[in-house]
Amino acid sequence: MATLLQPEKVLYLVRGEKKIRVPLSQLYFCRYCSELRSLECVSHEVCQLL
Residue ranges per structural domain of the chain: 7-49
Task: Kindly state the average pLDDT of the residues 22-35.
Answer: 80
Report the run of H or E that residue 21 belongs to, with start and end.
strand 20-22
pLDDT band of residue 1 (cuts 50, 70, 90) is: low
| Residue type (1 letter), 49 | L
Q: Which of 11, 15, 7 is nearest to 37 (CA)?
A: 15
With 60 as the cut, is the pLDDT of residue 46 above it?
Answer: no
What is the rounded CA–CA span in Å between residue 33 and residue 7?
26
CA distance 4 to 20: 22
